[in-house]
Structure 1
Amino acid sequence: MNRKLTAARKTQLKIEDHAVRFFTETIDAGRISPLAFFEAGESCYKDKRFYWQNADKTMTLVGIGHATVITSEGTDERFAHISNTWNKLRAALIKEEKDMEPVLFGGFSYDPKSVKDEEWEAFPSAYFVVPSFQLTIKNGRTSISINLVTESSEAAEEFDQLRDERDRLIHIAQVEDFNLLEKPKVVSIEEMAKEKYMKAVADVTRKINNGEAEKVVIARSVQLHFDEEVPAVTALHHISNEQQESYHFGLQKDGQLFFGATPERLIEISDGRAYSACVAGSIKRGKSAGEDRELGEELLEDRKNREEHQYVVHMISQVFQSFCTDIIMPKSPKLMKIRDIQHLFTPIEGKVEQGTDIFSLVQSLHPTPALGGVPTNVSLEMIRSEEKMDRGYYAAPIGWTDTAGNGEFAVAIRSALLDGDRAYLYAGGGIVADSDPAEEYDETWVKFRPVMRALGGKLNG
């Protein structure tokens, strides 16, 4: 590996103290398993790692260590705070043309005004990191970057230490045995407040029939208990292996891992164009190709699901009209088929207007009617009063942006919070005027299944 600093970089590293500088350096890394690189950070960076892979497998990111952390405990201003802080950091970036763009990765809580539960205490309203070591696999090319944010006059020494550590991590990932553990052994599955959930669905249905709202998403959780602590890499391996068509994500903090495999992209910006996905309305997969086709046709023709889907289409298209031009969107939904469930799906894209960054779109799109309701403010108040559960980062935006303004956020459904020898799983559904609590309850089990299976849990049917 080339370990010589260029003359330009030597000069940059010697800039005086007290000026924040953001350095990056990228090398080609050959073929490295992203999960092997993730696991290479286990001993020294157990609580400072993240994982991301988009649904079409063209972009994989692994972050190890923290070059810097940006957080917010705010409510409405949290999106602007993350954006403004990141923009200041972007302005301090010093890179060469061959270097990859550094990324900022993280997520937001679903609702900073909701009830707070103990399991989510470590996660603030917004939590984002720039990794010290960034593995990027993009369109088949694997590279590893060092990122350094510093005010020190000893930047050259710091950078050289990071190079040594980068080489150590690469060596571990390439040479040491990477033993994928078997799925965890589930000791018990505990339903969290089932009766409260059933009552919430009934109460919300009644309020909708009284004209107080059109749709409200009510969620619930279950807790899995294991016979021993579950390694983060085990959870990520199994969920990504079993849910091939989904976005895969994992974010570690203070001994916990928030992870999942979501089918739902919230927003992507690539070279000045924005892309989103209207995903709402669902039905199970069939046990045969014929049954699967019949269920799909039933979903496409179902009035309740089509109405639920149209709420999302209307809202997302309005946001795009506010921030984009040259909008393209089909008139009718199609089917998105993933392993355990089928969804109605309508893609939308447009050209981003100058001055709009990804956080502006994330703020305007969250929560979509698929995870909140209609009208948005009314549904959020109803969720707070009826659901009475801290969703944490479940159903909230999680993803990345880079120093060039590209990025992608997904909606963190089909997700869980892994905490040592237990995990909290979350699932919900859209409640409308003719919703039935028993049917909504059954639907949540379908949505629990992907993460539960990855963690060794089993459901009948």
Structure 2
Amino acid sequence: MIKRIKERIKMVELPVGLVAQVEELLTKQEKVLVSWVTKIESLNLLMIFKQGKGVYSTKRFFWQNPSKKVTLVGLGSTNQFCSNKGITSYQGVHEFNQQLKKQTATNQKRRATGALLFGGFDFDPERGESKEWQDFQSAFFYLPTYLVTVLSEETYLTINFYVDSQTDLHQKANEFFGKWEELLEEQIVPKAAKAVVTNKTELATTEWIQAVDETVELIKQSTTLQKVVLSRQLLVEHDSVVDVEDVLERLMMTQQNSYFFVLENKEKAFIGATPEQLLAAENQHYYSACVAGSAPRGKTKAEDQVIGEALLKDHKNTHEHHLVVEMISETLRTLTLDLNVSGNPTLLKNRDIQHLFVTVEGKRQATVPFLMAVKAMHPTPALGGLPRNEALAVIREKEPYHRGFYGAPIGWLNQDDEGEFAVAIRSALLMEKQSILFAGCGLVAGSKSAEELIETRIKFQPMLRALGGLDHE
């Protein structure tokens, strides 16, 4: 095997233009970030994510959008950004990315390849720190050492590494490529027995019901407050360390029409299958989606159709969705030209739940950086409420815990100021033998706490199923 790897290494040649870029940059600065992109044979990215567990177990990410046109796996960390500076962290990540760009030599020509950053933000940095989320802080992003990108039918490998004037560039590239080849040759270690769920605890249910009732009353009495999203937690305990790869694989098997994501740091992994796009930037356009209002799936096709048609006509849910459409459209009008809303709501269906759904797009104004647009969009009324600041004040008062990255932007951006962020719902924070699951519901004047409790239990199901915690499946 070693001989075969060495033979491959001898064949590795960096593009001439990339070498010239490195040499030019080294005349101006002490070190250069080399971001070498090469097209490779098709790979199973879930398998690559699994194979990276040994060497890169605390520094991996996975991302796939619902159309499956972009799938990403990141292994290792060449650089990272971690900030506890609250809301200014958006600007901090933007500046960090721009500084990296000045240091970078690359042959990147395709979106979602090259020196790409992946990570997320805190839902509400003003809540202060929490023990569970302290490793992620207000923002956590990293530049992977190895990035594998699948764009439709094409697969690319990016290797990101630093060099200085004393570095033998070709030797360094061959070393990194050799390690990549070794990774491909490694056999996946047989996984241990699946972690068994030993206990499930819905946290502070009585207090949550009371908070819902009080919040609905606030909305009824207020002349301004229209909607508040209150979330709650489910603590799941296991008999052994949870295998994040297994959880991801089960999510991908059961949750269609979803963004799949994993973000690891140290001994924790934030994972989810969310239906909700926040903002994408591509070809000088912004794209977003309005997802709100929900109903369970039917047990039969006929029953499912009846439930879906009722959801499309339900006053409480259509009002909730209309608030989201209004806010997202209003925000994007300040960031785009020629804004277009897709029309009347349609149904976005996943295994356990269905939502009202429309899309929004417009030509982006070049004066606003992508991450500043993401900041302007967050939180939408689907996860915060309306008016935003008034709703956030209620959430801070009524929710007894820190949301962390739940309900917040998670995704990627490249050095061309393009990328895509989803809203991190249907998610869990995996912490070795414990998992914290999150679910929320939008409260308006017509909400009833008993119905909202049922809705959150439905929203727990995708992640609970992936963890093996549903009793009858």
Q: Same fold (TM over 0.5)?
A: yes
Is it true that 1:146 corresponds to 2:155 in the alignment?
A: no
Aligned pairs (5 A) from 1:256-295: 256-295=268-307
Which residue does the alignment assign to 2:82? 71
TM-score by length of 1: 0.94
State the Cα deviation string for residues 20-60 of structure 1 (Å, max 9, x = none).
Answer: 42211122321221121112221211111000000011110
Query: 1:121 matched to which residue of 2?
Result: 134
Give the structure 2 partner of residue 130 of structure 1: 143
Equivalent residue number for residue 199 of structure 1 = 210
From 78, 89, 92, the equivalent of 2:103 is 92
Tell me how far apart the structure 2 counterparts of residues 21 and 448 of structure 1 sit (CA, whole Å): 45
In the aligned structure 1, how far is the partner of 2:151 from the partner of 2:296?
A: 33
Distance change in 2, residues 1:310/1:458 (3 Å): same
Aligned to 1:3: 12
CA contact (8 A) 2:285 2:362 kept: yes
1:359 corresponds to? 371
Q: Tell whether the 8 Å contact from 1:181 to 1:234 is kept in structure 2 after alignment.
A: no
Aligned to 2:71: 60
Instruction: Summarize the alignment of residues 165-184 of structure 1 with structure 2, pairs less than 5 Å apart.
Output: 165-172=179-186, 176-177=187-188, 184=195
**Aligned CA distance change for structure 1 residues 204 and 459 (closer, same or farther; 3 Å):** farther
Any conservation in 2 of the 1:68–1:149 contact (CA below 8 Å)?
A: no
Deviation at 1:101, TM superposition (A): 3.1
Offset at residue 144 of structure 1 (A) = 1.1
Match for residue 121 of structure 2?
A: 108
TM-superposition CA deviations, 1:180-233 (whole Å, max 9, x none): 777532111011111121111111112112206211100000111111111221
Check if 1:345 corresponds to 2:354. Answer: no
CA distance in structure 1 between the partners assigned to 2:373 and 2:87 by the alignment:
14
Q: Which residue of 1 aligns with 2:456?
A: 444
Give the drift of 1:293: 0.8
Give the one of 235, 251, 265 matched to 2:263.
Answer: 251
Residue 241 of structure 1 deviates from its aligned partner by 1.5
CA distance in 2, matches of 1:264, 1:337: 12
- Given residue 51 of structure 1, which amino acid in structure 2 is its aligned partner? F
* Displacement after TM superposition at 1:244 (Å): 2.4
Deviation at 1:400, TM superposition (A): 0.6
Q: Tell me which residue corresponds to 1:398.
A: 410
Q: CA deviation at 1:366?
A: 0.3
1:113 and 1:344 mapped to 2: Cα distance? 31
Contact 1:336 1:342 (C-alpha < 8 Å) held by counterparts: yes
Counterpart Cα distance in 1 of 2:393 and 2:432: 33
Distance 1:81 1:116, change over 3 A: closer
2:443 maps to 431
* 1:223 alignment partner in structure 2: 235
Summarize the Cα distance change of 1:192–1:10 in structure 2 as closer, same or farther, 3 Å threshold.
Answer: same
C-alpha deviation, 1:356, in angstroms = 2.6
Looking at structure 2, the residues matched to 5 and 321 of structure 1 have their Cα atoms a distance apart, in angstroms, of 44
SS in 2 for 1:113: helix
Could you tell me which runs of 5 or more consecutive residues in structure 1 were left unpaired when the two chains were aligned. Answer: none
The worse-fitting range, judged by mean Cα deviation, of 97-106 and 142-151 is 97-106
Classify 1:227/1:103 alpha carbon distance in 2 versus 1 (closer, same or farther; 3 Å): same
1:253-273 CA distance string (max 9 Å, x none): 011110000000001111111
State how far apart, in whole Å, the 2-side matches of 1:312 and 1:164 are.
49
The 1-side partners of 2:153 and 2:192 are apart by: 27
Within the candidate set 51, 54, 61, 2:62 is matched to: 51
Which letter does structure 2 place at the counterpart of 1:274?
Y
Q: 1:25 aligns with which of 1, 22, 36?
A: 36
Distance change in 2, residues 1:9/1:306 (3 Å): closer
Query: Separation in 2 of the partners of 1:97 and 1:52?
Result: 19
C-alpha distance 52-448 of structure 1, shift in aligned 2 (>3 A) = same
C-alpha separation between the residues in 2 aligned to 1:181 and 1:56?
32
Shift of 1:308: 0.6
CA distance change for structure 1 residues 460 and 311 in 2, over 3 Å: closer, same or farther?
A: farther
Q: How big is the shift at 1:243?
A: 0.8
- Structure 2 distance, partners of 1:435, 1:97, is 50
SS in 1 for 2:389: helix
Offset at residue 115 of structure 1 (A): 5.3
Distance in 1 of aligned mates of 2:356 and 2:378: 19
Deviates more, 1:20-29 or 1:447-456: 20-29
The CA distance in 1 between the partners of 2:166 and 2:336, in whole Å, is: 43
How far apart are 1:325 and its partner, in Å?
0.7
Q: Deviations over 1:367-412 (max 9, x none)?
A: 0000000110011011011112111111100001112222110000
AA aligned to 1:171 is E
Name the amino acid aligned to 1:324.
Answer: T
CA contact 1:105–1:401 (8 Å) conserved in 2: yes
Of residues 31, 40, 51, the one that matches 1:40 is: 51
Structure 1 residues 321 and 221: CA distance shift in structure 2, 3 A? same
Relative to structure 1, the CA distance from residue 330 to residue 152 in structure 2 (aligned partners, 3 Å threshold; closer, same or farther) is same
Structure 2 unaligned regions, length at least 5: 1-7
Separation in 1 of the partners of 2:204 and 2:128?
A: 15
Pairwise CA distance, 1:67: 1.3
Q: Distance in 2 between matches of 1:205 and 1:361?
A: 31
Distance in 1 separating the partners of 2:264 and 2:165: 28
More deviation in 339-348 or 29-38? 29-38
Instruction: Say yes or no: does 1:386 pair with 2:398.
Output: yes
- Residue 376 (structure 1) aligned to one of 375, 382, 388: 388
The amino acid that maps onto 1:143 is Y
Query: 1:72: how far off?
Result: 1.7
Which has the higher mean CA deviation after the structures are superposed, 142-151 or 420-429? 142-151
Q: Secondary structure of 1:77's partner?
A: helix
For residues 323 and 20 of structure 1, the distance between their equivalents in structure 2, rounded to whole angstroms, comes to 36
1:233 pairs, out of 245, 253, 260, with 245
Q: 1:318 to 1:124 in 2, by over 3 A?
A: same
Q: Distance in 2 between matches of 1:108 and 1:404?
A: 20
